[in-house]
Amino acid sequence: MAKCKSTIKGDDKKEQLCCPLCEKGILKPYIKDLKFTYRGHKTTFKQEKVFSCNVCDFENLSKEDNKRIERALIVRRFAIDDSQPRGYNAKQNFHSS
C-alpha cells in the first residue's frame, strides 16, 4: 500500500491527516464522548471531535482540543487531590478508556 499523503485542503498549516502510527491510514473526524478516570473519579468530555485512523486503532484529538482537555484534566486532578486525605499515594495517572 502506498504511503498516505492526505492533507487538509485550504488549511494554511497543511496539517497531515495521515495516521502517524501505521502511516497508511487516513485520519477521519468523528464525534464521541471522552472518558477519563483519576483515582476512581470519572471525568467525561461530551461530544468531542476525535480523529480516527481507518486502518489501525489510532485515535487523536486536534492540537487545540488536546490542550483544552489537558488543562481541564489538570484542574480536575488538583480538585481531586485536594479532596484526598494526607498520605495518599500521589503517583497516579489518568487512564483513557
Q: Which residues bind Zn ion (CB under 5 A)?
A: 19, 21-22, 25, 53, 55-56, 58
Question: Closest CB to Zn ion among 44 and 54?
Answer: 54
CB of 74 to Zn ion, least distance (A): 28
CB of 17 to Zn ion, least distance (A): 11
Q: Residues 7-42, buried b or exposed e (16+ Cβ, 10 A)?
A: eeeeeeeeeebbbeeeeebbbeeeeeebebebeeee
- Residues in contact with 43: Cβ distance below 8 Å, sequence separation at least 6, in sequence order: 35, 36, 37, 72, 73, 76
Question: Closest CB to Zn ion among 18 and 34?
Answer: 18
Question: Closest CB to Zn ion among 4 and 34?
Answer: 4
CB of 53 to Zn ion, least distance (A): 3
